[in-house]
């Protein structure tokens, strides 16, 4: 095997840094891999099968006269009082479930050292989840956060849902860091990750499947209350994007000028102390996220920006930290 065989290959239509419609549309065809009766994306991550219908609740259908064996808790007392005869409510299982994505493409996500920016990988996975949702007759919606604004996509069915989400991701990604505002979002420089969670709480229909894609560097202790509120009536999962350099893993041995948009410095990547410092900082960050997920029973998954999405899903490279069972 020559050295070229070990070189990571970019996904089709992607340069790893920018986003275009073609590279996100390709996941429409990939979504069929996880449609029933095949394993779902989440069963691939967690090593178990999850039912397509996840206890989504019951919809009222009609009222009819009480029959022996009916659940007395379903008696419609108003109709019973009006007619003088006992009536009971009938329900049908609610099959459609909104899927809501919170997609972080803020400055810390615009980072990648090997294959893709973390924000680009988040966009790829968001596209796959969007197409998969509508393929299962669910509505898909999203809030895209780029550090300047929130782009809102209300839950929509059929092909229009994923297209709306994809266009919002591309727009937010292109506008990230720009000084200009627009009509598609909320132009407010003071917006942060906590604001995105707050807006998600207002937009999200009860009973939704909520998936948050981020590196979670803006996650704070104060966000725990909002997450707890979201989790009371919804299913909530975290997908953490990371780059190997954040773990202190790199083959680069030079000195480089680096910045996080707040601080700038020269780093010597040939020094063991530099790599160990990066690894320690990431571990501390990881412990904070894991503890919050554990306390709120939120499953936490990890997705690398150094491999293509399909490689990680196909070879179980997508690791899961299970904070607890969904409610």
Read off the pLDDT of residues 8-19 as tens digits, 9 standing for 90 and up: 789 989 999 999
Share of the chain above pLDDT 90, in %: 45
> Side-chain half-sphere of 97: how many Cα atoms within 13 Å?
21
Nearest to 127 by CA among 310, 298, 302, 305: 310
Residue 117 backbone dihedrals phi, psi, to 5 degrees: -70, 150
pLDDT tier for residue 222 given thresholds of 50, 70 and 90: very high
42-72 pLDDT, tens digit each: 655 554 334 344 444 556 678 889 887 778 8
52-82: burial string, b at 16+ Cβ within 10 Å, e else = eeeebeeeeeebeebeeebeeeebbeebbee
Token pair of 82, please? 């009006």
Say if residues 65 and 87 touch (Cβ distance below 8 Å): yes
Q: Does residue 93 carry a pLDDT above 60?
A: no
* Residue 96 to residue 136: CA distance in whole angstroms: 8
pLDDT digits (tens, 9 = 90+) for 152-182: 999 998 889 999 999 999 999 998 655 444 4
Measured between alpha carbons, how far is 301 from 46 in angstroms, rounded to an integer? 9
Rounded mean pLDDT, 176-195: 59
Residues in the chain, overall count: 327
Please tell me whether residue 135 adopts helix, strand or coil conformation: helix
- Which is higher by pLDDT, 279 or 78? 78
Closest to 165 (Cα-Cα) out of 178, 149, 151: 151
Percentage of the chain lying above the pLDDT 70 cut: 74
Residue with tokens 């609610």: 94
Q: In the prediction, which pLDDT does 72 show?
A: 85
Query: So what's the pLDDT on residue 1?
Result: 38
**Average pLDDT of the residues in 256-268:** 64
| Residues 296-314 pLDDT 10s | 999 999 999 999 998 888 7
Task: Name the range with the highest mean pLDDT among 83-87, 248-252, 311-315.
Answer: 83-87
DSSP state of 14: -
Cis peptide bond prior to 71, omega within 30° of 0? no
Residues 168 and 151: their CA atoms lie apart, in Å, by 6
Residue 92: pLDDT over 80:
no
Q: Do residues 58 and 52 make contact, with C-beta atoms less than 8 angstroms apart?
A: no
């Amino acid at each position: 095997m020559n050295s070229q065989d070990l070189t990571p290959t970019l996904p089709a239509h992607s340069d790893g840094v920018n986003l275009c419609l073609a590279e996100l549309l390709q996941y429409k065809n990939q979504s069929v891999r996880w449609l029933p009766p095949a394993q779902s994306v989440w069963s691939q991550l967690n090593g178990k099968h999850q039912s397509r219908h996840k206890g989504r609740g019951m919809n009222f259908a009609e009222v009819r006269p009480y029959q022996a064996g009916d659940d007395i808790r379903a008696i419609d007392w108003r109709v019973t009082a009006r007619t003088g005869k006992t009536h009971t409510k009938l329900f049908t299982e609610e099959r459609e479930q909104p899927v809501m994505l919170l997609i972080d493409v803020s400055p810390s996500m615009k980072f990648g050292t090997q294959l893709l920016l973390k924000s680009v990988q988040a966009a790829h996975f968001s596209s796959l989840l969007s197409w998969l949702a509508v393929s299962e007759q669910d509505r898909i919606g999203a809030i895209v956060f780029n550090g300047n604004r929130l782009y809102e996509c209300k839950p929509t069915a059929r092909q229009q849902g994923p297209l709306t989400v994809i266009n919002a991701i591309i727009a937010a990604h292109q506008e990230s860091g720009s000084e200009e505002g627009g009509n598609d979002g909320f132009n407010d420089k003071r917006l942060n990750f906590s604001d995105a969670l707050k807006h998600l709480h207002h937009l999200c229909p009860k009973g939704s499947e909520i998936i948050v894609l981020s590196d979670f560097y803006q996650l704070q202790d104060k966000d725990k209350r909002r997450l707890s509120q979201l989790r009371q009536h919804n299913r909530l999962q975290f997908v953490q994007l990371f780059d190997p350099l954040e773990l202190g893993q790199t083959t680069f041995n030079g000195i480089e000028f680096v910045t996080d948009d707040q601080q700038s410095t020269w780093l010597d990547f040939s020094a063991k102390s530099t790599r160990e410092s990066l690894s320690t900082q990431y571990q501390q960050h990881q412990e904070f996220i894991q503890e919050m997920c554990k306390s709120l029973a939120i499953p936490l998954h990890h997705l690398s920006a150094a491999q293509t999405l399909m490689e990680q899903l196909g070879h179980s490279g997508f690791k899961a930290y299970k904070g607890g069972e969904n409610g």
